[in-house]
């Protein structure tokens, strides 16, 4: 199955010199996950809702300062490869190029809609994130925003005495960070009318960050049980216009995890055969290293710190136009999902090998400090792979 039928030619585009305040206004359309950034007719990157919400932004800054480099695809790319690229680059929107110009975009929602009829063979239990990162109703917005940023997550369930009270999402945060927290639901925030990103800590903005989460959370948190098929999960998300469900224990209804659209997209990357634990996007950029060398590098990083099982390592390499003595500047990003938690780091250097080693060093420092985002995944079962993905793995 390719993406030719799900590519959208309707997308929001900004010139690289547009102010961030104008871009933030575009995200008032809550269906919009990312905008395309161009320089004239040349594609330069994207800016996502998550990126804008998790950064300290000055409204007068230019959108070019926040450009994220994500993979591009062509109009006939395989849907499973698109899913891999989305997971590898942590992006829900990928530009579709035609002769080096932006023809359209493909979104995670479009991918999920296309494959939903085939998702009934796997359940929530196979795909959900089993460690739940949460807040309490009295957690301050400052602490909640830091948790979202540090954990690289988009949804923060709000739990009080093992009962789900609500959920704080990036939809709530984007309003808070770009419009000063003017929000009618969930509490009395009208008296706090400060402006600017949450990087500011002066005057009214300081008081806004001290607001409890209950003032901005959504009360409409939706739950799901572990034995629910994934097609029902996706249909519920679309019907409720949400992107996550809180997973509860069958016996007690106690919140025990979360499943997001990203989790379901990641399930599309599973292979029928035992999947490689290390995925590399941009391997052709490496000079003097092949896949086995990259795997050995990851093994050397994780083996120094006792017993650690790598469930998945995702490595993305992106080449910039800037060069030094003919060697391009490269961004390397590493994401590790292990039985001891989730680690992520990036490195930038001249040449892909140099950038990759800098990123690996950064991961080592995190391991040394014991810094983890506390998320873990299950290994999908081989039989489940065959049941779910036989329809396209067979050609």
Domain with residue 147: its CATH number is 3.10.580.10
Same domain, 239 and 349: no
Same domain, 99 and 201: no
Residue-level pLDDT at 230: 92
- Of residues 19 and 308, more confidence is placed in 19
Question: What's the burial of 369, exposed, middle or buried (CB within 10 Å: 0-12/13-18/19+)?
Answer: exposed
Q: In 10 A of CB 310, how many CB atoms? A: 19
Report how far Cα 345 is from the mean position of its chain's Cα atoms. 14
- Of residues 308 and 204, more confidence is placed in 308
Same domain, 161 and 65: no
Question: What's the burial of 69, exposed, middle or buried (CB within 10 Å: 0-12/13-18/19+)?
Answer: middle
How many independent structural domains does the chain possess? 3
What's the CA angle centered on 71, arms 61 and 98, to 5 degrees?
100
Same domain, 220 and 134: yes
CA distance 275 to 382: 9
Same domain, 161 and 257: yes
CA distance 168 to 38: 32
Angle between helices 141-151 and 170-179 (to 10 degrees): 120
Same domain, 136 and 255: yes
DSSP codes of every residue in 253-278: --EEEEEEHHHHHHHTT--SSPPPSE
- Mean pLDDT across 255-268: 90
Pairing of the two strands 155-160 and 341-350: unpaired
- Mean pLDDT across 91-110: 90
CA distance 325 to 24: 38
CA dihedral sign, ordered 346, 52, 114, 236? positive
Same domain, 242 and 347: no
380 inside domain:
no
Residue-level pLDDT at 361: 92
CA distance 339 to 360: 18
Asked if 108 and 70 count as a contact pair (C-beta separation under 8 A), the reply is no
139-174 residue pLDDT tens: 998 888 888 877 778 889 999 988 899 999 876 766
28 inside domain:
yes
Residue-level pLDDT at 348: 92
183 inside domain:
yes
- Of residues 30 and 126, more confidence is placed in 126
Residue 183 has pLDDT above 70, yes or no: no
- Mean pLDDT across 216-221: 83
Same domain, 20 and 90: yes
- Mean pLDDT across 28-32: 77
Dihedral over alpha carbons 361, 367, 371, 375 (to 10 degrees):
110
Residue-level pLDDT at 41: 81
Same domain, 132 and 244: yes
- Mean pLDDT across 6-23: 90
94 inside domain:
yes
Residue 203 has pLDDT above 80, yes or no: no
Residue recorded with tokens 């080096």: 100
Residue-level pLDDT at 288: 83
Residue-level pLDDT at 54: 58
CA distance 187 to 207: 14
Q: How far is CA 30 from CA 111, 174, 220, 300, 307, in A?
A: 18, 10, 16, 43, 43
* 61, β-bridge pairs: none
Residue 55 has pLDDT above 70, yes or no: no
Residue recorded with tokens 């490269």: 330
Same domain, 255 and 283: no
* Coil vs helix vs strand at 338: strand
7 inside domain:
no
CA distance 330 to 348: 6
Same domain, 137 and 226: yes
CATH number of the CATH domain containing 282: 3.30.160.100
175 inside domain:
yes
User: What residues make up the domain containing 293?
Assistant: 278-369
Rg of the Cα trace of the chain?
21
341 inside domain:
yes
Residue recorded with tokens 């949450």: 198
120 inside domain:
no
Q: What are phi and psi of 255, to 5 degrees?
A: -65, 125
Residue 334 has pLDDT above 80, yes or no: yes
Where is the domain boundary, 77, 107, 137? 107
Same domain, 357 and 283: yes
Residue 50 has pLDDT above 80, yes or no: no
Q: In 10 A of CB 220, how many CB atoms? A: 11
Q: What is the mean pLDDT of the chain?
A: 78
Residue-level pLDDT at 206: 62
CA distance 165 to 170: 17
- Mean pLDDT across 211-220: 85
């Amino acid at each position: 199955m390719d993406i030719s039928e799900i590519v959208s030619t309707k997308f929001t585009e900004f010139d690289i010199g547009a102010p961030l305040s104008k871009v933030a206004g575009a995200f008032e359309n809550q269906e919009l996950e990312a905008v395309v950034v161009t320089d004239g007719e040349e594609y330069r990157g994207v800016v996502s809702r998550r990126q804008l919400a998790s950064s300290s932004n000055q409204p007068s800054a230019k959108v070019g300062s926040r450009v994220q480099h994500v993979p591009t695809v062509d109009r006939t790319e395989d849907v499973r490869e698109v899913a891999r690229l989305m997971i590898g680059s942590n992006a829900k929107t990928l530009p579709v190029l035609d002769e080096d110009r932006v023809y359209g975009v493909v979104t995670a929602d479009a991918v999920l809609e296309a494959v939903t009829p085939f998702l009934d063979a796997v359940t929530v239990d196979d795909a959900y994130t089993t460690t739940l990162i949460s807040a309490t109703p009295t957690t301050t917005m400052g602490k909640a925003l830091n948790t979202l940023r540090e954990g690289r997550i988009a949804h923060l369930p709000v739990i009080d005495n093992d009962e789900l009270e609500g959920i704080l999402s990036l939809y709530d945060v984007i309003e808070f960070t770009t419009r000063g927290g003017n929000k009618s639901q969930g509490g009395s925030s009208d008296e706090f009318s400060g402006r600017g990103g949450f990087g500011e800590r002066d005057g009214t903005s300081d008081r806004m960050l001290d607001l409890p989460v209950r003032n901005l959370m959504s009360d409409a948190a939706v739950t799901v049980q572990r034995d629910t098929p994934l097609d029902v999960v996706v249909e519920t998300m679309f019907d409720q216009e949400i992107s996550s469900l809180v997973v509860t224990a069958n016996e007690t209804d106690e919140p025990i995890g979360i499943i997001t659209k990203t989790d379901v997209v990641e399930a599309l990357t599973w292979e029928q055969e035992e999947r490689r634990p290390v995925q590399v996007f941009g391997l052709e950029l490496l000079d003097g290293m092949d896949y086995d060398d990259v795997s050995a590098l990851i093994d050397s990083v994780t083996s120094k710190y006792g017993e650690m099982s790598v469930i998945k390592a995702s490595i993305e390499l992106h080449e910039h136009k800037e060069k030094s003595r003919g060697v391009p500047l490269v961004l390397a990003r590493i994401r590790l999902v292990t039985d001891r938690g989730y680690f992520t780091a990036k490195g930038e250097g001249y040449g892909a090998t140099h950038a990759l080693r800098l990123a690996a060093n950064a991961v080592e420092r995190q391991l040394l400090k014991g810094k983890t985002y506390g998320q873990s995944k299950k290994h999908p079962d081989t039989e489940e792979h065959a049941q779910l993905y036989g329809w396209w793995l067979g050609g």
